[in-house]
Amino acid sequence: MKALVIGVSGQLGASLFAVLSSRQVQVVGTHCAHPMPDSVFLDARDGGAVRRLVAEVSPEVIFLAQNTPGGVDFCEAHPDEASALIVQAARNVLAAAAPLRARIVYFSSDYVFDGKSGPYDEAALPCPLSAYGQAKLAGERLLQDHPHLIIRTTAVFSWAPGTKNLAMQVWENLRAGKTLRVPNDQWCNPTLAEYLAEASVALAEAGQSGIFNVVGRDWMPRSELAAALARALGLDPALILPAPTGDLNQRALRPLKGGLKTDKLRAALGSAPLSLPQALERLVRRFRESSCDLARAQVPASVQQAKADILDKVRRYHALAHPSESFIPRQSRVRYAGRVFGESEMVNLVDSALDFWLTLGPYGDKFEDKLRRFFGSRDFVYVNSGSTANLSAVMALMSRQIDGALKPGDEIITPAVTFPTTVTPLVHAGLVPVFVDCELGTYNVDPKLVAQAVSPKTRGLMIPHTLGNPCDMDAIMDIVRRHRLFLIEDACDALGSAWRGQLVGTFGELGTLSFFPAHHMTTGEGGGVIVNDARLSRIVRSVRDWGRDCWCAPGKSDTCGKRFAWKLGGLPFGYDHKYIYSNLGYNFKPTDLQAAIGVAQADRLPDFIARRRRNFKRLYEGLQPFQDRLILPRLDARADPSWFALPLTVDGGVSRNELVAWLESAGIETRQVFAGNILQQPAYAGLPMRRHGSLEITDRIMKDTFFVGVYPGMTDAMLDYILETFAAFFAAARSRAPHA
């Protein structure tokens, strides 16, 4: 998708630009009154300028997200200008989009209603009270007879310094010790700008048209939202003064019983909108990043200079200590994997060390946000290994806080060719793994056998994407939907792999990653849980954070506003919420030092993935002449793998041991496919489990399959050397073969 965002200087436009960019969408943003980096000037009231820019950019989708300066009351005082800003802009964009058949995403508001009987669904009859609402409705009517998308929303907030959204009003007034009067009779759905952008992009990508309400899950007076924002930002909610609208001297009439229903949105996206606690968690992460930068800016100049000097020396050290190494055949080792890094990883690491923030903190927030945006997921939770990511995912699906949770004795289908910590969490949780055979060539679970293995006790699938090659997710998701199963995707070897354009790790309720140095990117030790089901976000974080019920960020208290007013379980009323545990959990948190490395590594992901694909292609094509002796990976046109390695199975009488010994003696590292048949491993003998079928392909893989590397640190010289070494082996084998 190629996109144009009109109005990136506002909180919604900025969020749209960030979401689209994180999804590798080619996007152009425009500004008008407030210049923004990497955006172009556009006054959308100028029809000629709009036509020229749209023709130049040639977008498939145009997001019309520009603001009206001064908001609702400005529009009431200047109705003609409001009409030009909203209606004329929509008319101009509609005319410019028509020749290209570009789709428009137009943002409207619950202010198109009179607020007498909200919340409203999409079919409710509009009746605006204000010039702003009238202009928004006029814009809707321009587009409603065309296949465009109209998004209605309300009470949008975000951590966006320089804007006037309610979160920033609360911050700026309360931190200065000022009170803030907020209406207690205007009902709304609090909506995080980032969520609004994510849901809008998802609807656009799905080809939806017509009117959709996109708002948060909760419905409350604006005064309650303001108090919740104050608590989340560590401010005194007593400074929020609830007041009736009639006492606020607002120029424009407001809909009082406003807000919007989201049944249509839930059906389209298959998930519930973001709740206010979830939105506040994300807001606080943004706030912590910003406040950390602010705190750094407030340190004495001498301290800032000292740090700058140190970081400059780190850059010079990196250049001296980690130069590019020349490859010398038969002397240099060709590793199957390795860390690939630059000066930015070392600078971030030392920067974090100098701040001495030891636990997960500001860099952790940035890292989680980068990965959440990369996947377009509901959340991303950073943990201390891929193993604990799998354990966290399993424990989350056993939480009493979800309906129909897994329980001991339930069966989970998983392949027999696997890594130990894909299976071990199932065993420790009292679940029963059901092992099925794999496919030769893909080395993934055989979907036909998965379907056959389902029993009345089956509750879920634990599916790894072996060595970066995606499983047949059409077949897997058909099984999941047909039998209403949970799905955890172990994507530890498949970061960046996609099936029909959708990243693996985003199909099931949860996906997992590893950031061990051998993997696609590294934080040293580390892993992550991709959260695709909104109800699991807090639960996964709870499992990672000792199982606690409290969701306060480190160093914060009373985000919920009732720290000493909870009554949960058998605890006495008022027991400190910081010490209430609603899940079985552990301390799986990594350090901020590790996250600092991850922030830099995440920026390299597109390049890492491209280089892995390139290296795989070079080896795959170079080994084509030996297909009588080697079974090459089986490729599926629906898949776009981000390869962890190149798997090979010997055939035609070739001995794996002899070939591996030849490669290793030449300095080329090899590895076998993890544990092989996991049931043959000593630790897994006699465990409660079920075996479906013979596992004959699994045993063949255990006996005949190995892999060589394709990691981004490999050079053309290394790849050529690998191919030459294979050729030499097969030439030597032919010369030794008896002549007929």
3-state secondary structure string, 183-247?
A: ECCCEECCEEHHHHHHHHHHHHHCCCCEEEECCCCCCEEHHHHHHHHHHHCCCCHHHEEEECHHH
Q: Quick check: helix, strand or coil at residue 271?
A: coil
Tokens 């607020």, residue?
115
> 584 in helix, strand or coil?
coil
Non-local (6+) Cβ contacts of 115 within 8 A are 129, 186, 187, 254, 255, 256, 257, 258
d(CA 88, CA 317) in angstroms, rounded, equals: 57
Which residue type sits at 149?
A: L
User: In what side-by-side order are the strands of the sheet with 705-709?
Assistant: 630-631, 645-650, 705-709
The two structure tokens encoding residue 144: 């409603």
How many angstroms separate the CA atoms of 336 and 664, rounded?
A: 11
Q: Check residue 469 and report its DSSP letter.
A: -
d(CA 548, CA 554): 13
Q: Which residue has the tokens 């073969």?
A: 737
- Residue 522 has a CB neighbour count (10 Å cut-off) of 22
The two structure tokens encoding residue 35: 């210049």
Could you tell me the CA-to-CA distances from 301 to 41, 297, 298, 306, 518 in Å, in that order?
36, 9, 8, 9, 40
Taking a C-beta distance cutoff of 8 angstroms, is the pair 582, 549 a contact?
yes
């792999």: which residue's tokens? 497
**Structure token digits, residue 37:** 């980096």
Dihedral sign for Cα 78, 172, 198, 613, please. positive
Residue type, 699: D
β-sheet bridge partners, residue 117: none
Type of residue found at 386: G
Q: Can you tell me the distance from the alpha carbon of 462 to that of 480, in angstroms, rounded to the nearest whole number?
A: 11
Q: Which residue has the tokens 């072996």?
A: 466
**Cα–Cα dist 588/352, whole Å:** 20
Whether 647 and 494 have beta carbons less than 8 Å apart is answered as no
Contact 102, 56 (CB under 8 A): no
Q: How far apart are the first and last CA of the chain?
A: 59
Residue whose entry in the numeric block shows the structure tokens 């609402």: 133
In angstroms, the CA 385 to CA 528 distance is 7
What does the alpha-carbon distance between residue 183 and residue 225 come to, in Å, rounded to a whole number?
10
Structure tokens belonging to residue 12 = 């919604």
Give the Å distances, CA to CA, from 198 to 263, 274, 408. 17, 11, 36
| Amino acid letter, 577 | H
Three state DSSP letters for 634-658:
CCCCCEECCCCEEEEEECCCCCHHH
Cα 105 to Cα 198: distance, rounded to the nearest angstrom: 13
Q: Please report how many Cα atoms fall inside a 13 Å half-sphere around the Cα of residue 301, on the Cβ side.
A: 0
As a whole number of angstroms, the distance between CA 490 and CA 631 comes to: 25
Catalytically active residues are 519
Under 8 Å between Cβ of 245 and 296: no
What torsion, rounded to 10 degrees, do the Cα atoms 568, 573, 578, 584 define?
Answer: -30
